[in-house]
A and B are shown apart, each in its own frame.
Chain A
Amino acid sequence: MSAEIPEAASAEEQKEMEDKVTSPEKAEEAKLKARYPHLGQKPGGSDFLRKRLQKGQKYFDSGDYNMAKAKMKNKQLPAAAPDKTEVTGDHIPTPQDLPQRKPSLVASKLAG
């Protein structure tokens, strides 16, 4: 009696393994489940669909939206000779950011 049960179980397992081998789809499913073990059982379930219904980027408010739009517009403008010598308050300058001091055309009276 007890010998039968493990046989039945292994027949089922065998079928499952066969499925995975013959069906590429099931093999892919196994791959996905291996990578994401917490993935829900029903892919077409309401969570998934509700996310689909709410597509689009969410903003905090219209001010946030307008700021984001302005930033995108500035980025899209062709960077016409980004003025590397100017440091204008975007961040605290470091010695490397500061423009090199050009040598004076007029030699100092104190020198040489």
Chain B
Amino acid sequence: AGGGCCCCGLFWYRDSSPKPHLVNRFCILLAADVISTVEFNYSGDLLATGDKGGRVVIFQREQENKSRPHSRGEYNVYSTFQSHEPEFDYLKSLEIEEKINKIRWLPQQNAAHFLLSTNDKTIKLWKISERDKRAEGYNLKDEDGRLRDPFRITALRVPILKPMDLMVEASPRRIFANAHTYHINSISVNSDHETYLSADDLRINLWHLEITDRSFNIVDIKPANMEELTEVITAAEFHPHQCNVFVYSSSKGTIRLCDMRSSALCDRHSKFFEEPEDPSSRSFFSEIISSISDVKFSHSGRYMMTRDYLSVKVWDLNMESRPVETHQVHEYLRSKLCSLYENDCIFDKFECCWNGSDSAIMTGSYNNFFRMFDRDTRRDVTLEASRESSKPRASLKPRKVCTGGKRKKDEISVDSLDFNKKILHTAWHPADNVIAVAATNNLYIFQDKIN
């Protein structure tokens, strides 16, 4: 995975100015494989990425350093490890991919950092710790580790600790396996910091972080007769503050909020969120494009956001009847649904994220475009994550897709969009204006210059 980076910063817009200010400050880090998940930790100092090859790469933010003023805020590689390996399911004769579907950090409790990483079947708890001292002067072994002949030892000495070059080690502390028949799409750490949930297509399980041989099934939507299957679970998340509440989204565009206090098996929801649909506008594609690919609570816990194929919706947890906001991501694709169905792009699972203050949301699109929506000013912008459009110290230009006949200069027509360049995974620093955007093999980190 990539090492150092060049740094330029991004600040997309200020409310007072008539047009967006975009100053570019970013890092591009090239991964060996397609990046499949991106996640900041609670402080934002660490950024974890998982890839299709089962590897996890963690980046750490440079601390303020007077001797290198320009390096402040740079993210450099901190640790790399192989989290998952491909496996073979002997019972079904199917390959289990090593691709990391999700990474979730645990809140930091001591000097070490912990994260959960999962592939389709197995969740692992990793401990990432630093070692900057080593002991020297052992009695029973030499400096290079060879055992000394005990009969030749004539004196005892006390080993002393000496500083050494920083070494970051990752070790698997827990392996949570064999609890999912179907493919895991989500993991979410509870606010109690003791439990977490894992969700596959049909079931959601509750785990205790210390216990690997048992998990509780809390949602099961598998019908007795698989012929009657009408929807699957697409994402699930715990509420950020209420440890008894979680939500899960479905392929039919609905979200269910469940309260674990009400019963052990939360098959009956406490709240059911669905936007009413105009039956006359229904088409073959309606259900497919309504499938929710991601659900995220706001930091405040008052709202949640869902991403379906063409839009991002913000829901007030107190109102189940319809979302309070709907933001169009790429509405121009509605007239391309036939081709997008044929090339399978219509099944792409885009994620979405909130900024630290919940005032803005971000999600990806095609052609390496990603979209940001400011909820306060109702303004949105399309930006591009690519080497060509991102030059050091230059402004990041807003992009525009031309839908009508006449294409203005600098606009891109819908037919010129590259649907292989999809931005599915983005992450926003929990406090600062720093974003991480994964474009296939490349990870872009954009930062606010004014900080």
Contact = CB atoms under 8 A, between A and B. Distances in A.
Interface of A: 19, 23-29, 31-33, 35, 39, 43-46, 49-50, 52-62, 64-66, 69
Given A46-B227, A49-B251, 9 more contacts: A28-B338, A29-B284, A32-B337, A43-B285, A44-B287, A46-B230, A49-B229, A53-B201, A58-B92
B183 interface: yes
Contacts of A57: 94-95
Contacts, number: 95
Interface string B267-305: 000000000000011011111100000000000000000
Nearest to A66: B88
B94 A56 contact: yes
A56 B97 contact: yes
B425 interface: no
Given A43-B288, A44-B288, A49-B251, A65 B95 contact: yes
Contact of A28 (B120, B182, B252, B337): B337
A64 B231 CA distance: 33
Contacts of B96: 56
B67 interface: no
Contact of A25 (B228, B231, B285): B285
Contacts of A56: 94-97, 120
Nearest to B86: A69
Contacts of A50: 226, 229
Interface in B194-220: 201-202
A22 to B, nearest CB: 10
A79 to B, nearest CB: 19
Nearest to B87: A65
A46 B202 CA distance: 13
B93 A60 contact: yes
A48 to B, nearest CB: 9
A25 B337 CA distance: 7
B134 interface: no
B231 A49 contact: yes
A44 B252 contact: yes
B92 to A, nearest CB: 8
14 contacts: A19-B280, A28-B336, A32-B284, A43-B288, A44-B230, A49-B230, A49-B251, A50-B226, A56-B94, A56-B97, A57-B95, A59-B88, A61-B93, A66-B88
B377 interface: no
Contacts of A24: 334-335, 337
B341 interface: yes
B337 A53 contact: no
A56 B93 CA distance: 10
A39 B120 CA distance: 30
B232 A49 contact: yes
B151 interface: no
Contacts of A64: 93
